[in-house]
Structure 1
Amino acid sequence: MGLGSTAGNPCAERGFGRTVLHRVLPTFVFFVSFFLLALSHPAAAQDYRFNSVRVEGNQRIEAATVVSYAAIARGKSVSAGELNDAYQRILGSGLFETVELTPRGGTLVISVTEYPTINVINFEGNRRIKDEDLAKIVESTSRQVFNPAKAERDANTIATAYSQQGRVAATVTPRIIRRTDNRVDLIFEIAEGSTIEVERVSFVGNRVYSDRRLRRVLQTKQANILRAFVRSDTLIEDRIEFDKRVLRDFYLSRGYVDFRVNSANVEFTRERDAFFLVMDVQEGQQFRFGKITTVSEYPGVDAAAYGDSLKIKSGVVYSPTLVESSIARQERLAIKQGVDFLRVEPRITRNERDLTLDVEFALTKGPRIFVERIDIEGNTTTLDRVVRQQFRIAEGDPFNPREIRASAERIRALGFFEKADVEAREGTSKEQVIIDVNVEEKPTGSLNLGGSYSVNDGFGVAIGLTENNFLGRGQRLSFTFSTAEDAESYVLGFTEPFLLGRELRFDLDMGFSQTDSSYSAFDTQRAFFSPALTFRLAEISTLNVHYSWDGSEMKSRDTPIHGPVIGSEIAQGGVTTSGLGFTYTYDSRLTGLDPNSGVLFEVGADYAGLGGDSEYIRTKAKAIAQTKIMNEEVTLRATFEAGALNWMGNTNSRTLDRFSLTSDIMRGFEPLGMGPRDLSPDASGVAYDDGLGGNLYAVARFEADFPLGLPEELGLRGGVFLDVGNLWDLSNVNTAAAASTCGPAGTSSCIVGADGAWRSVIGISFLWSTGLGPLRFNFSRAISKESFDKEQTFDLTLQAKF
């Protein structure tokens, strides 16, 4: 790829074929002329004196401009070397295709041929990158002087853009077509080539973690069968550099402080149609925390209180993240106590014998520097206050470099900006700093088209419109429409993350839904309105307080197939519910001390009775514990979930109000397939068999996910699970509506399962991470159940966006 490569090219006569000749021939003539002059006039060949300079051949460029480039003084002695320097300066200006300097007595004649003007710039052969996108990255522009060197750089830039998409074989050749009036059309002929993918990613030197585990860390992926939908399997140089960093972060967070990437080699396959990426790593030894101490070198500050605030303990696997979070915790404590300019300096002592790192947190007094102001630039849409809200300091506060870095990360995490640079510079005095925030905005709206499939609801389509930075205020506004064969919903959502300028999130959701499921004996319609406030209680715990209004109705189908209990609930017509509730959440799975283990605890309660037709207290609790074993190849997870409904109103509760165990709570059964049922007979003596739900439930789920040993590019993993659960209690249900006797014997009640019974289900899962979304197959079998339960041995779910 080059401007001089025109051999065998039919476009050579269009301009580039004579470029080298035009440059070399004048120089050759120039030196030959001086050589002949030197032979005939040996003394004069070394010294010239010009009284005038004449410029010939220029059309657009003023003669004075050419003379200024030559810089030949009139009436002064000029050597042959100085004439050559003048020639090089004129040619180096990039304005002229050819330059000749000819001495004629006392006159220096400068003959030039100007480069043509670019008429238009066209791109040919490009399909993957649009013309307007290519026009943004090239230097050459219309109505500018054509410059071959610049065109060559543009060709390289375009080729680089294609290599970023994995098309490293793309070639770009610049051509020109000469027009009248010394104009040219600049054409970039592009041969995109095929995408060259990463066929295999492998590692050398890793002993603790397998190649499969490390590949999950990298952003670069191996090519898989869905490569048409995935671009992460193409080779991008910047991505490899990013992979090196995340791989190092992965090992450092697990105590391997000496880890390093020796090299990342990329090789073509023998057929030269794919790449092999081989990373040579050195893991080193795993270190743990040794002694954790805090000392004070700040007068008047007691180290004991700061030491008590630390969460890390001896014996925990060392992680720089834990050290950073401990420093931030102690500095926040200093701010809370009104101690200004306190800095925490970690001093680490390495113990090779027992592979521990002693950490001493030294409380020191930092320089007395204040924040003069915060300048924000580049935000054309986003309001300044949205960026300022990410800072925990304001003008006039003590300067804390660690807090500035944390603020920069929060700004980037907003997702509003292509890039966000936060730097501190000296202010109007040495005791003050100015914080510069330079951002580059990116589109924040999205249109999501999705599809889903489940055994219960069938195929569905979801359309979502979301604006995450509504009117530049940092607010989220969304509308989602989803429909399946048996259910559809319309939901409008709004979120203000900083209500009243505080770290207080406000959510508002409202919508309408209806179902027509073959698994229930009735249809439903529901409209809801729910505002909520969420605020942080501690680092990994939050409290959500919400109000909800709900209007719902159970509706009979055209051909009634329900029993008397469901019939009495349908007869209630539309029912409104108004109430308050809260949800407390503690989640250490992402920010806890151990990156491989974590727990989630969630408990909430809702009181309905602030107007409306219903009055009850509903409580729910969930606890999840998970860990990774066998070098993080296998994930173990245990979940316990329970709920209770205490009906307090004068009316009877409905199936819609009670709990029903769907497949995301208890696998192996149809919706309303386990728990209390109404087996009242119809006129012909056949039982209706209606699921009624229950007021109480408890479920324990145990599962393990593991690799199947198949090629990782397939994205398939396996799993096994055991679910144990119970759903019972029909207090405040109109059971009197049911028939008093059932079956030929006529001696037993038609309501069964109200006293509850424990069910258990075992099963296997196949999890497929496809380019369209996660696909999960569940095959289950109930090992203990009641005779009236409705088992579901297979379940398939797919969630996709495209």
Structure 2
Amino acid sequence: MRDVGARRFRRIGMGAVLRITASCLAIPGAAILAADPAIAQNFQFSDIRIEGNRRVDSASILNAAGVAPGQALSAGALNAAYQNVVNTGLFETVEIVPAGNVLVIRVSEWPTVNQISIEGNRRISDEEIQEVIGSVPRRVYSPAQAEADAAAIAEAYGAGGRLSASVTPRIIRRSDNRVDLVFEIVEGRVTEIERLSFVGNRAYSDRRLRRVLQTRQAGLLRTFIGGDTFVAERIDLDRQLLTDFYNSRGFIDFQIHSVNNEFARDRNAFFVQFNVQEGLQYDFGRITASSSLPGVNAQDFLGVSTIRSGGTYTPRAIEETVARMERLALARGLNFVRATPQVTRDPRNQRLDVNFLLEQGPRIFVERIDIEGNATTLDRVIRQQFNIVEGDPFNPREIAASAERIRALGFFADAAVEARDGTGPGQVIVDVDVEEQPTGSLSFGGSYSTDTGFGLNLGYQERNFLGRGQTLAFNIVTATNSQSSRFTFVEPFFFGRDLAFRFDAFYNTDDFDEADYNTRVVGFSPSITFPISLNGRLGLRYRLSKDTILDVDTGDPDNPLDDGSSPIIQSEEGSLYTSSVGYTYSYDTRRTGLDPNAGILFRFSQDLAGLGGDSEYIKTEALLLGQRQVFGEEITLRATLEGGAINALGDTETRVTDRFFLGSRQLRGFEPLGVGPRDLNATNEDALGGNAYAAARLEAEFPIGLPEEYGISGGVFLDAGSVWSLEDTTGAGGVEVDDSFHLRSSIGVSIFWTTPFGPLRFNFSEPLQAEDYDNTRSFNVTVSTEF
């Protein structure tokens, strides 16, 4: 049980004995001498004796007291000496006892901490708590430090939403002036956010605005969702996220007047309300450019602007245009040119006219870049995120962009990039202060898919291998009908440039339910990828694989009616090596585009096989996807169009491992191998695949009236597509296989469920157009989790 001390002052006789004592284990303080004229006299001692000290030497105590033998001391001076010794914080009790001509300073030292115990904690481990406390075993016990440790532990629980957690420090006395320090913890319940609401919003619903915030309402999966606990610091981030959301949609006068946090003690929950003022929504008006620099034609710079007059105002468009203009100036050898946006309001028409003024900026150079806090990550990994080096002209916009790239690496819990004055005029020093965080993960999980069945996943990934910024990953997935293993290594800055090198080694097997043959593919593929525009990237690759078709059903020789699989499949059985080179161009504006409500993805790839190996073909694939949010961003519309073709070269023919199949994700309502050319005269009627395919998907996602904290929404879709074309169409019995184009289509509804384990999707579909031999499926679900 924790000791509670007291202070006392006692006088025995008139001037005979002066005793000042204190016991301040729990309540530190000082004794105050009584205002008694009887003791208003001076004392003088020929000797001063120190008693009771073991660890602290007598000279240190005498020096702290500030008294010396032979010195005339008043009662006030003796009280001051007492106070000085107590304030050292080294002693549990202090007594100053005049004994004739000798002044005795008797002390009792604070005990030593024998061990530190933590009791009652389940949500936070002992190791995590040890990191936030300052008390250490085998050091002198300090009540102030114990109280500070208790407050730090309670704060750690508060950061996790357990605001009612209490921590009590206690001591258990042991022999040899030792104590055990025990922190007794009552964790309490998580303080949840029962309701997130908004006042003053008209353009967007509460439902839409809640999706902007990092904080979440407590919902169906409150046990797993950390975002529904109340953390005061998170509200500040939410304010910024909400402001950025409105500003990027043209509401330049948006304000948050207040955020009210009301605690309902009977429900142990908070009710959080944002009081906002949206203001008017502005569009871009006239976009012009002017120059104060001699010989610089502003119209040339205006040509790189990405702003469209009449479009919704967004700060991102301004920032990108400024960056483009300043990069153009550098390309023309014009240093220190600044493109300053000058915005003029037109409240009547709710438009903003923007003029970009090209002017001479201050001549400031980067003296050096200092990096601190990276114990594991190499300096060069951080420096690679800068487009400037020491000696280059200083550009504040480029420094801010570099800071964002450093944070986007995901290696650091925090990264601060600031500029300060250098050692000389016209110079700045860029300070980078980072706080590293774990970048490795070992995952073990389970999965289920209606395509592959139940499976187990085992994976390892390190995103900052040896502090070099490299990715090293190994993954094994075993399912009912397939097994796959993959090793991946990625160097994001190959040869010190923005050139990502990737190496993959893979081993995949498939045991199809819809076919009486299996496939096995083993090989490796090195590749490089680099940007060619703001949103465009180009990837080049090589692939070498051994593709095997095995376990083909050749029929029953004793049953002439059972001829097994199609002769087309039987002729392809065996192993072939494929050596190919290819490229992929992608253009993606879904995250980096100027319109926050719309985006497109375009991807085009080709592979040429025949550089050695057994297979010779050229394969081409393309995909175009567009999406837009409408009706206050409550409904998301998506449209996807994709297709591909493979053409055999020379006198070779494609195999089933090379040809296309439409999976259930591409054409809902059908089995993975459910459509395409099929040998109907063969006993197994195996799917053969096709040399060409095309698919189109239209879908909409929208709320269905459930509380948004459940993460459940609905959707509808319409899919259409087909697989066709074979070189060899001679099937069983010499009958030609129909490989012509036959359109299939389906319609259905979807249920989207966003869970802590990942997004789940349930599709209920009905085929509209299908061939008699197609394999259909009315329900499809993909569930994936890690634990």
TM over 0.5: yes
Inter-CA distance 797–29: structure 2 relative to 1 (3 Å threshold): closer
Answering whether residue 59 of structure 2 is matched by residue 64 of structure 1, we say: yes
Amino acid across the alignment from 2:722: N
d(CA) in 2 for partners of 1:242 and 1:281? 15
> 2:606 aligns to what?
605
Matched, 1:651 2:647: no
1:225 aligns with 2:220: yes
1:326 has 2:314 as partner? no
Correspondent of 1:738 among 732, 743, 746: 732
Query: Distance in 1 between the 2:406 and 2:63 partners?
Result: 51
Instruction: Write the distance in 2 (CA, Å) between the matches of 1:112 and 1:529.
Output: 76
Deviation at 1:101, TM superposition (A): 4.8
1:773-784 aligned at under 5 Å gives the runs: 773-784=758-769
Does the CA-based 8 Å contact 2:625-2:641 persist in structure 1?
A: yes
User: Gaps (5+ residues) in structure 1?
Assistant: 1-10, 683-687, 742-748
Q: What letter matches 2:497 in structure 1?
A: R
Q: Secondary structure at the match of 1:604?
A: strand
Q: How far 1:201 sits from its partner (Å)?
A: 1.9
CA contact (8 A) 1:30 1:100 kept: no
- What does residue 308 of structure 1 align with? 303
Q: Say if 1:642 and 1:19 are closer, same or farther in 2 by CA, change over 3 A.
A: farther
Q: Of residues 93, 98, 105 in structure 1, which corresponds to 2:93?
A: 98
Question: Is the 8 Å Cα contact of residues 342 and 365 (structure 1) preserved in structure 2?
Answer: yes
Secondary structure of the residue aligned to 2:763 is: strand
Q: Aligned partners of 2:397, 2:651: CA distance in 1, in Å?
A: 59
| 1:724-735 to 2 correspondences below 5 Å | 724-730=720-726, 732-733=727-728, 735=729
Aligned alpha-carbon RMSD (Å): 2.5
Deviates more, 1:763-772 or 1:50-59: 50-59
> Displacement of 1:204 after TM fit?
2.1
Shift in Å, 1:197 = 2.1
Q: Gapped runs of 5+ residues in structure 2?
A: 9-21, 556-562
Deviations 1:683-710 (A, max 9, x none): xxxxx32222222222111000011101
Residue 510 (structure 1) aligned with residue 511 (structure 2): no
> Which amino acid in the other structure matches residue 149 of structure 1?
A
Give the match's secondary structure for 2:115.
strand
Matched, 1:443 2:438: yes
- Superposition deviation, residue 62 in structure 1: 2.7
- Any idea what the Cα deviations from partners look like across 1:567-590, whole Å, max 9, x if unmatched? 43334x212211111111111111
Q: How many residue pairs get matched?
A: 766
8 Å contact 1:26–1:100 — kept in the other structure? Answer: no
Indicate the SS of the match to 2:227.
Answer: coil
The alpha-carbon deviation at position 341 of structure 1 amounts to: 1.7
> Which residue, 768, 777, 787 being the options, matches 1:792?
777
1:702 is matched with which residue? Answer: 698
Kept in 1, the 8 Å contact 2:701–2:714? The answer is yes
What percent identity do the matched residue pairs reach?
Answer: 51
Q: Is the 8 A contact 1:614 1:649 kept in 2?
A: no
DSSP 3-state at the match of 1:423? strand
**1:711 corresponding residue in structure 2:** 707
- 2 CA distance for matches of 1:27 and 1:379? 44
Q: Work out whether residues 173 and 189 of structure 1, in 8 Å CA contact, stay in contact via their aligned partners in 2.
A: yes
Matched, 1:263 2:252: no
Amino acid of the residue matched to residue 693 of structure 1?
A: G
> SS state of the match for residue 368, structure 1?
coil
SS across alignment from 1:144 = coil
Superposed CA offset, 1:361-417 (max 9, x none)? 222222222222222233232222111111111111112222122112211211122
AA aligned opposite 2:589: S
- Is the CA contact (8 Å cut-off) linking 1:386 and 1:474 kept in structure 2? yes
What is the alpha-carbon distance in structure 1 between the residues aligned to residue 692 and residue 122 of structure 2? 60
Relative to structure 1, the CA distance from residue 770 to residue 60 in structure 2 (aligned partners, 3 Å threshold; closer, same or farther) is: same
Q: Distance in 1 between matches of 2:578 and 2:69?
A: 99
Matched position secondary structure for 1:386: helix
Matched AA of 2:174: R
Q: Are the structure 2 counterparts of residues 657 and 19 from structure 1 closer, same or farther at C-alpha, using a change threshold of 3 Å?
A: farther
Aligned partner of 1:793: which letter?
S
1:98-497 equivalences in 2 (<5 Å): 98-101=93-96, 110-269=105-264, 271-497=266-492
Query: What TM-score do the two structures reach when normalised by structure 2?
Result: 0.92
Q: State the partner residue of 1:565.
A: 567
Are 1:771 and 2:756 counterparts? Answer: yes
Conserved? CA contact 2:7–2:31, under 8 Å: no
1:676 matched residue in structure 2: 677
3-state SS of paired residue (2:23): helix
Asked whether the equivalents of residues 774 and 800 of structure 1 are also in contact (C-alpha less than 8 Å), the reply is no
Match of 1:4?
none
Equivalent-residue separation in structure 2 for 1:702 and 1:26 (angstroms): 74
The amino acid across from 2:692 in the alignment is L
Letter in 2 for 1:594: D
SS at match of 1:249: helix
Once the 2 structures are TM-superposed, how far is the Cα of residue 559 of structure 1 from its aligned partner? 7.3
TM-score norm. by structure 1 comes to 0.90
Query: Aligned partners of 1:329 and 1:497: how far apart in 2?
Result: 24
- Residue 758 of structure 1: how far off its partner (Å): 1.7
On the 8 A contact 2:169/2:181 being kept in 1, the answer is yes
Instruction: Determine the C-alpha separation between the residues in 1 that align with 2:211 and 2:467.
Output: 36
The answer to which of 47-56 and 440-449 deviates more is 47-56
Deviation at 1:275, TM superposition (A): 2.5
CA contact (8 A) 2:569 2:688 kept: no
Q: Does the CA contact (< 8 Å) of 2:487 and 2:505 recur in 1?
A: yes
Judging changes above 3 Å, is the alpha-carbon distance between structure 1 residues 380 and 737 closer, same or farther for their aligned structure 2 residues? same
In the alignment, the residues of structure 2 paired with residue 111 and residue 127 of structure 1 have an alpha-carbon distance, to the nearest angstrom, of 44
